[in-house]
Structure formats: structure tokens, C-alpha cells
Amino acid sequence: MDTHPEDASAKRNGADGPDARDGDSKQYALCFRVPGRQSVWRIRDQGIALSDQHISWSLDGEEMSYSLKDVAEVHLQTGAIGEEVIASCRLTFADGTVLSIASCDSGGVHTSPAQAELYSDFVHELHARLARLEGASTVFTAGYGEARYRVVQVLFWIAVVFFGVAPTLAVLVSGEWGKLPLVLAGFALTWMLRKLMSANAPRSYDPRHLPEELIPAQPRSQGLASWIAD
């Protein structure tokens, strides 16, 4: 973290935020979460400012500003709510502060094309600035934790059996071909689970080569049509 004595207060009150310290600051109307401010119905906070040397955000009018050199870890992953793919970029700073930026709207369950594009721009710009920052020691990780990933793998194979193999055998044995659309829907579901699982395999990555599968260009899965196209 910045070592100048006045920086401790500046980080809190925004007196020495990114606009004052360096140029080329960009504003991103993205929703974010910090520990202790979760809400049941909506994401409370929005708005990230990113400059060449700093990142800042506001909590109830109080600005928080950190040097990009203080970013200890950047973690990318995605999740799904129905057919909605929600991407997140979690920043952990040297003092333990955690900031999670999401691709979704304040409701937490929907990502519009405009939000997806804005989120993608932010993630690419953040990595570009971190990659050219001298003296930084940021770690870049992606995907689920090892334990969660193993659970997802087990759930995937259970889904294959219950939503893919079992319905297929039932149709073949009974000859009820009218149920074939349900079989196809089951395979589409397992395909989406496989794609989500594959994208979120735990790993590290180079900030100059981002895992684009975790920065979805299209916020909504295209279901069976996309599965066939792939």
C-alpha cells in the first residue's frame, strides 16, 4: 500500500483519489460488493473509478482509494442463475480488503448486453494496467476453489445420468417419441453445466492472456441452439 503518511486518511476520504494522483481515469457504472454490505434484495453499491495507478469506489459517499500496486490477487469466475451467466472479478488488497465487481445489474440476477460490454471493458482495462505496472506482485487466479470444483464435477455427472442418459433410455424403451424435446432439453442443460464447469476449472493465468471464457461477451446462454452451433 502507499507508504506516505497522509495516504491512510486519503484512502478513506478521497482527498487524494485517482483523479488527483494520475490521469486517464475511467468511470465504470458496475455493481460491486464488499464484505458486510450484502443485501437480500439488491446489490447496494455501484461505480468504480480506474486510473493508471489507482482504483477507487464510494461507500455511502465516502471514497475508498487504493494503489494498483496494493492489489494482491485478482480472481475471475462465473456463475449461472437459470440461463443467466453472471461474471465476477474479485480483488483482494494487501491489507485484506476485498472488492467484488459483478457483470449483473443491482438485482443480481440479470446481465444486459450493455452491462456485459462494460464489465468486459473494465476487466480488460484493469489487467492491461496491472500488467504494465512496475513493482506489482499481483497473483491472478480463476475458477472455483478446489473443493467446490470437485462438488460441481460430481453434480455434473449426476445431471448427465438423470437429465441425459435416463430420459434417453426411457424414450427408447417406451417408444414415446413425443418426449424427445424433453430429452434434448436435458442434454442442453448438461451441456451448459459442462461449459460452466470447464470455464471455472481452478487455475492461475497471465494478465496479458485473459481467460476469455470467464468474461462472457453474451450475458445470456443461447441454450440448445448454442449447443448445436458449438
Whether 48 and 32 have beta carbons less than 8 Å apart is answered as yes
What is the DSSP secondary-structure string of the chain?
---STTHHHHHHH-TT-HHHH-S--EEEEEEEE-TT---SSS--EEEEEE-SSEEEEEETTEEEEEEGGGEEEEEEEEEEETTEEEEEEEEEETTS-EEEEESS-TTSS---HHHHHHHHHHHHHHHHHHHT-TT---EEEES--HHHHHHHHHHHHHHHIIIIIHHHHHHHHH--GGGHHHHHHHHHHHHHHHHHHHHT--EE--TTS--GGGS-SSSB--HHHHHHH-
Report yes or no on whether pTM surpasses 0.85: no
Taking the C-alpha atoms of residue 37 and residue 119, their distance in angstroms, rounded to an integer, is 21
In tens, the pLDDT along 105-118 reads 888 778 888 999 99
Domain boundary assignment for the chain = 7-143, 146-195
The overall average pLDDT reported for the chain is 80
What pLDDT does 66 receive? 96
Q: How confident is the model at residue 163 (pLDDT cuts 50, 70, 90)?
A: confident
Q: What is the pLDDT of residue 28?
A: 96
pLDDT of residue 133: 87
User: Looking at the domain 7-143, which fold is it?
Assistant: PH-domain like (2.30.29)
pLDDT in tens, 28-82: 999 999 987 766 677 888 999 999 899 999 988 889 999 999 999 999 999 876 6
pLDDT of residue 94: 95
Q: What is the pLDDT of residues 196-217, one digit of tens each?
A: 788 889 999 999 999 999 997 6
Specify which residues 88 forms β-bridges with: 77, 102
What pLDDT, on the 0 to 100 scale, is given for residue 228?
Answer: 32
